[in-house]
Amino acid sequence: MKFKLIYPKWKKLAGQTEFHLPPHGPVVFAATIPEDWDVEFTDENVEPLVFDDSPDFVGVSMMLTSQVKRGWEIADTYRRRGIKVMFGGIATMLHAEETMRHADAVFLGEAEGRMEGVFEDFKNNRLKPCYDYMADPPPVSLVGPARRSILKEELYYYKGVQMVDLVHASRGCRFNCYPCCVSFLGGRKFRPRPYKKVIEEIAGIENNRLFIVDNSLAQNREWELGLFREMIPLKKKWCCHPIEDDDEVLDLAAQAGAWYVYQAIFDTSDYIRKRIRRYKDHGIAVEGTVLLGLDGQTENDIRRLVDFLLEVELDLAEFTVLTPFPHTRTFDDLQREGRILSYDWNDYTADKVVFRPDKMSPEKLQELYAYAWDTFYQDEPQPYKMFRLLQKVAVREKADGTYRGRRRDLIARRFGKKEAITGDLL
Ligand code: B12
Ligand code: SF4
């Protein structure tokens, strides 16, 4: 029987160079589908979705709030034709009730160890409207290697350079940051996967460049040290969310192939300045994730923050505006204070102001969002900074013999013969 798994399209940030990473939730989920099912996958971000087929069962995987309306539309189309649709993924958990109106089943929680039962229910025509396992996550040791074979690899290249492959070494997060919904999803519990399983999975990935998508690696010093020690022989190069600010950890991370980190930058303090410096001292580059519009932040604060980012020589910056995603403390506060201006989830792209900021008008914050992107990338445009980051990794790969170069056939196909191919990244 055929299961069609769909990852709905979502809008990328205004201001950001468009590139597409392979989705992670769907491939991890796909590994849990019983073996007697054929799985066909469409990532609508990189290829058109064809509706005139007849799968036996459709699955829609949603990660972001900005995907849900498109996900519902897709489900409605299949259901009108009598084909059953099941939803899962992070945004399904965040928008469960609304999603149930468009679904034959919604699955809430982690899929490992649960899918035999759900697919059996489908076969016996007794699918439940809601499978809620959020309070009862499976043992993390059950998480196996993601089923990356469902991806069409050639769709995930940027100018002939293969995008990173995604992998995770743990689930959950012990923190509870103000704009984040992870504590709702995972109950503030950090759950590391056994090293052996992580290392086996990473070793089996052909791509040398990875994105370790764990929420934050800075959860447990001993665990981090152990993970990096095990990773050193694999010679992979990777980016990740924050790493512990500790000399031994940063040193081992660098040896294990840490290439750059996504580090939240919220002010111009010495603490942040030092945090960035210390990554760089260990040869790890930094992409700042910069949230604009927090309460108390003024127009001047934002202008000063952008100057600061240039001064500390961030390698890349990604600006977003505070967005009251459901099941966050931000949502609760702004909702209570009557400051949410739109409940249209298509507006929740993190680049549109959908709330009334504390110290300025929504229009001013929107203007400052554009100012931040434009000013940060004024002298060195984004593609140039991205190229420099790629050069950094290429130098290290050449040194340890793992460098693979660009796919010229894909460049030629995309740009035609006119594109001058002026050598490689080095
Ligand atoms: C990796 C990640 C990204 C990557 C995604 C890369 C990719 N191609 O997948 C990148 C860096 C691109 C990204 C970007 C953003 N992200 Co993000 N991201 C995450 C992160 C850290 C991990 C997601 C993940 O892969 N988890 C691991 C997988 C295995 O888990 P999973 O998806 O839940 O899948 C399991 C189950 O859900 C289930 N399942 C999955 N699909 C299906 C389908 C079916 C049918 C079934 C039955 C089951 C099922 O099976 C899986 C195995 O158990 C989460 C935080 C988190 N922990 O969830 C935030 C998170 C999803 N991101 C978030 C945000 C805010 C963003 C941004 C908007 C802003 C930002 N800068 O962070 C941007 C997007 C900006 C834009 N518009 O361009 C928010 C979501 C907010 C929201 N409600 O929309 C989250 C929750 C973090 C947070 N701060 O709250 N992100
Ligand atoms: S923002 Fe990152 S560190 Fe903070 S709670 Fe969310 S996942 Fe954890």
Whole-number Å distance, alpha carbon 271 to ligand 2 midpoint, is 18
Query: Which residue(s) pair with 291 in the sheet?
Result: 320
- Say if ligand 1 is within 6 A of residue 13 CB: yes
Tell me the CA distances in angstroms from 25 to 252, 397, 404, 423, one per residue in order. 28, 28, 27, 36
Closest CA to 94 of 131, 59, 134: 134
Closest CA to 71 of 38, 47, 39, 49: 49
Instruction: For tokens 């509870």, name the residue.
Output: 176
Predicted confidence at residue 121, as pLDDT, reads 98
Averaged pLDDT, 219-230: 98
SS3 content of the chain, % helix, strand, coil (to 5): 40, 15, 45
SS3 260: strand
Measured CA to CA, the distance from residue 51 to residue 70 in angstroms comes to 14
pLDDT digits (tens, 9 = 90+) for 328-362: 999 999 999 999 999 999 999 999 999 999 999 99
Predicted confidence at residue 422, as pLDDT, reads 46
More confident residue, 54 or 426: 54
pLDDT digits (tens, 9 = 90+) for 165-217: 999 999 999 999 999 999 999 889 999 999 999 999 999 999 999 999 999 99
Counting DSSP H helices and E strands in the chain, the numbers are: 15, 16
Beta carbons within 8 Å of 264's beta carbon, 6+ residues apart: 177, 242, 288, 289, 290, 291
> What's the pTM value of the predicted model, to 2 decimals?
0.96
Best residue for ligand 1 mutational test, from 18, 64, 134 (most atoms within 8 Å of Cβ): 64
pLDDT digits (tens, 9 = 90+) for 67-91: 999 999 999 999 999 999 999 999 9
Predicted confidence at residue 412, as pLDDT, reads 67
Tokens of 276: 């960035």
What mean pLDDT, rounded, does the chain reach? 95
Whole-number Å distance, alpha carbon 63 to ligand 1 midpoint, is 5
Tell me the CA distances in angstroms from 261 to 17, 38, 51, 285, 371, one per residue in order. 18, 37, 39, 6, 24
- Say if ligand 1 is within 6 A of residue 112 CB: yes
Instruction: For tokens 């007849």, name the residue.
Output: 54
Q: Is 335 buried (19+), middle (13-18) or exposed (0-12) by CB count in 10 A? A: middle
Q: Is the pLDDT of residue 415 over 80?
A: no
Predicted confidence at residue 414, as pLDDT, reads 65
Question: Where is average pLDDT lowest: 153-162, 270-279, 355-364, 369-378?
Answer: 153-162
- Say if ligand 1 is within 6 A of residue 59 CB: yes
Phi then psi dihedrals of residue 93, to 5 deg: -65, -35
Q: Which ligand has the shortest distance to the CA of 5?
A: 1
Measured CA to CA, the distance from residue 238 to residue 194 in angstroms comes to 19
Beta carbons within 8 Å of 370's beta carbon, 6+ residues apart: 14, 15
DSSP assignment of 208-220: SEEEE--S-STT-
Predicted confidence at residue 320, as pLDDT, reads 98
Closest CA to 318 of 366, 350, 295: 350
Beta carbons within 8 Å of 98's beta carbon, 6+ residues apart: 68, 72
Tell me which residues have their CB closer than 6 angstroms to ligand 2: 173, 175-177, 180, 182-183, 215-216
- Please name the amino acid found at residue 199: I
- Say if ligand 1 is within 6 A of residue 96 CB: no
Report the side by side order of strands in the sheet with 105-108: 38-43, 2-7, 57-61, 84-88, 105-108, 130-132
DSSP one-letter code for 347: G
Q: Which ligand has the shortest distance to the CA of 345?
A: 1
Q: Which domains are assigned to the chain? A: 2-140 (3.40.50), 152-400 (3.20.20)
Predicted confidence at residue 187, as pLDDT, reads 85
Averaged pLDDT, 379-399: 95
Atom of ligand 1 nearest to the CA of 92: 37
Provide the sign of the torsion angle of the four alpha carbons 160, 261, 45, 80, taken in this order.
positive
Q: Is the pLDDT of residue 379 over 50?
A: yes
Write the residue with the smallest CA distance to atom 44 of ligand 1: 88
Predicted confidence at residue 308, as pLDDT, reads 98
Predicted confidence at residue 291, as pLDDT, reads 98
Predicted confidence at residue 26, as pLDDT, reads 98
More confident residue, 286 or 414: 286
Going by their DSSP bridges, the two strands 130-132 and 157-158 should be labelled as unpaired
Measured CA to CA, the distance from residue 134 to residue 187 in angstroms comes to 9
Question: Where is average pLDDT lowest: 3-7, 244-248, 418-422?
Answer: 418-422
Count, residues in the chain: 426
Beta carbons within 8 Å of 14's beta carbon, 6+ residues apart: 351, 369, 370, 373
